[in-house]
Every structure is written in structure tokens, then in C-alpha cells.
Homo-oligomer: A and B are copies of this chain.
């Protein structure tokens, strides 16, 4: 860990280890429409889960998945997985507007659900998901990867918890993404009803971070806007969006998301998070320390009464979420993430999208 000053006061907690023995917590993957499902399964397998099954209607996607996870069995149908009493949790990355319906089927089969973000695309879906959670007692958990699966972001949570910046009062989040070859994306990526709009889709990461870092239980979307500034061939694609939220404790957030990562950036997006507190601030340069060309990531800058500190935490923090999630499923606790939190982030990203002004 780099530290440019004496007296470093903060250090990452230890890297998490597997929390269960092989076979103790069996999971499956259904619906491989988004590549995030690999990260989701990786995280859980590293934390000790046993990945037993995979199912997708697209045999090619299944074939690729099986290569990544040798030992996983290709199921003949979704039902084969849902009917297996050994399976405790189903991971999925379906087309966004189909994630809720799948989750309801999973929970009704008595299993916990772990979906890629955004977890749903409408308030009606949210109500149905909540109702099914109430009825079944199962979990509808979400892979908000830009916090849960980024060591800089995990470390920021630890710093805030340790009081390093006092009370957080404002967050700025930038979520730029590279679109790459537009033709390399599936059709649903360009259909708003299916991907849910940019604020719902990649904005969901941002809102979840606001709730988490600022200790916000509820919030109001004060203003939001979207536009298509550079992709006229894809009229339903929103390539830019931003929003301002105010939390129930007075903390505020602005975030912007976009599909304008330049070709020359050395990674897919210069994701940033700036957390301003009453006693200091934190900047995260999650995936690149721009302009340094040193292939590093997970840069954390902390400024408070002790000075300016720079941490590079790749490989030093790990991802405690996954082990916590497994233990939550086993013990019916909520240490990884509460259901209320997961649903509140989902609700707010849908609301930000619904009330967004179309600027361009």
C-alpha cells in the first residue's frame, strides 16, 4: 500500500476467506444474458459456494460458461434447477426487464435469488418482488458490482465506518462506460423497455453507493435527465444521464452515467466516487489512475486533518460481500445487505428514470 505521508492511520481489513466447506452451500446460474453472471459466480465460489448447475436457452452461452466453471452441470431446463432441493441460491443476469419475473419463480421455488443489477425496471415489478419476499421469506439480492466487487469501494466503506471523514454529506459519482463496437451488443441493449433506461441500468450502481456510504434509508430524486448525444442510429439508447438525490438524513448525491469512454482510455471506464464529509473527503479512482499508464487500479485518496493519503488497494481488501451473503442465506441474517436496502436502491433508480427529463 502506497502512503505518501508518515502516520498512516487506516488500513484495509483482512481479505475474506471461504466461509463454507465444499458442498455446504450449493448454487446455480440461470440466464446468462449479461456477462456479470461470471463475476457473481466467481465471487460466491471464492467464498466457498459450490456451483452445481447452469441453465440458459442459448446453448452457446452455456458452453462458454461451462468452460469457465469446470464441474458445473448444464441443466435441461430452468425447472430442473428450481426443483433441485440442494440448490439454495440462484444467480442470474437475465435481460433487465425479465429479472424480476425470474426472481419470483426462484423465490417461489424456495430459493434465494441473486440478480445482476439493475434488479428490475418498474415500480410494478418492485411491488411484485416485495410481495413475493413477504410470502416466501426468501431473499432478492442484487449484484451492485461497482461497490461490492471493487476493492477501492469496499475500502472506502471501511474508512467511513472508521470515521475518517466525519459525517458524509455529499457524493459525486461518475459511471462512464465504453460501448465498444455498437454491433457487438445484443438487441436488448438498445431497447429501452428491456434495458430499463440508463439511470435505471448503470445508474443503479450509483444510487446504491449513495445509500450505503451516506447511511441513507430513503431518498428523494430531486432532478434527473437523460439524452442521446452521440448515437443517432440507436434512438432508444440513452448515452448520458444524471440525477440529484437528497437522503432522509440530509446527505445529497449527484451522479452521472454515460457511454462515452474514449477509445484511448486504457480501461472500460474512468469510474470515480467522491465522498465529501464534514471532516474530510475520499476520492476513488476505481479502474484507472488516469494519465499514469501504469495499469493499476483501486486508487483511494483520503484527505482529512491528517493530510493527504493515497492507497492502492488491489489485492489487499477482497470482497467480503460474497461470504456474508452465503452466511446470510444459511442463517437468515442480513449482514451482506438488507432486503430493504436492495429494494430501496432499485426503487430510486426506477424513480430517477421515470421522472427524467429528456434533454437531447
Within 8 A of B (CB), among A303-320: 303-310
Known contacts: A254-B244, A260-B281, A357-B222. The answer to whether A229 contacts B169 by CB under 8 A is yes
Q: Indicate whether A227 reaches chain B with its CB closer than 8 angstroms.
A: yes
Known: A225-B246, A250-B360, A291-B310. A264 touches B240 (CB 8 A): no
A59 at the interface (CB under 8 A from B): no
A307: chain B residues at CB < 8 Å are 264, 266
Q: A270-B281, A291-B301 are in contact. List 20 more A-B contacts (CB 8 A).
A: A167-B229, A170-B242, A170-B258, A172-B174, A176-B276, A222-B223, A222-B225, A225-B244, A242-B244, A246-B359, A250-B360, A258-B276, A260-B278, A262-B281, A263-B305, A264-B306, A283-B290, A290-B303, A290-B310, A292-B310
Bits for A221-244, please: 1 = Cβ < 8 Å to B, else 0.
Answer: 011010101100000000010101
A360: chain B residues at CB < 8 Å are 169, 250
| B242 in contact with A252 (CB, 8 Å) | yes
Cα distance, A360 to B169, chains bound together (Å): 10
Contacts A291-B4, A293-B4 given; does A265 touch B225 at CB 8 Å: no
A119 at the interface (CB under 8 A from B): no
Q: Which residues of B contact A223 (CB under 8 A)?
A: 222-223, 244
A303 in contact with B265 (CB, 8 Å): yes
In the complex, how many angstroms separate the beta carbon of A180 from the nearest chain B beta carbon? 14
Interface string of A33-66 (1 = CB under 8 A from B): 0000000000000000000000000000000000
Q: How far is the CA of A360 from the CA of B4 in the complex (A)?
A: 35
| A185 neighbours in B (Cβ, 8 Å) | none
Q: Which residue of B lies closest to A223 (CB)?
A: B223
CB distance from A168 to the nearest CB of B (A): 10
User: What residues on B are CB-neighbors of A240 within 8 Å?
Assistant: 169-170, 252, 276
| Contact count band on A | 35 or more
Contact A291 B278 (CB under 8 A): no
Question: Residues of A at under 8 Å CB distance from B?
Answer: 4-5, 167, 169-170, 172, 174, 176, 222-223, 225, 227, 229-230, 240, 242, 244, 246, 250, 252, 254, 256, 258, 260, 262-266, 270, 274, 276-281, 283, 288, 290-293, 301, 303-310, 357, 359-360
Tell me the bound Cα distance from A284 to B265 in angstroms.
16
Contacts of A4 on B, CB cut-off 8 Å?
Answer: 291-293
Q: Give the distance in Å from the alpha carbon of A223 to the alpha carbon of B223 in the complex.
A: 7
A360 and B252 alpha carbons, distance in the complex (Å): 10
Is B227 in contact with A250, judged by CB distance below 8 angstroms? yes
Q: What chain B residues lie within 8 Å of A262 (beta carbons)?
A: 279-281, 303-305
Q: How far is the CA of A57 from the CA of B308 in the complex (A)?
A: 41
Minimum-distance CB pairs A-B, first 3: A291-B310, A223-B223, A264-B307
Chain B contacts for A277, CB-based, 8 A? 260
Residue among A174, A240, A262 with most chain B CB within 10 A: A262
A286: shortest Cβ distance to chain B, in Å?
A: 15
- Check if B256 sits within 8 Å of A170, measured CB to CB: yes
Shortest A351–chain B CB gap in Å is 15
* In the complex, chain B residues whose CB is within 8 Å of the CB of A308: 264-266, 288, 290-291, 293
Docked-complex contact B229 and A264, CB < 8 angstroms = no
* 11 interchain pairs, CB-CB under 8 A: A167-B229, A170-B240, A172-B172, A174-B274, A240-B276, A242-B252, A250-B360, A254-B256, A262-B279, A262-B281, A264-B307
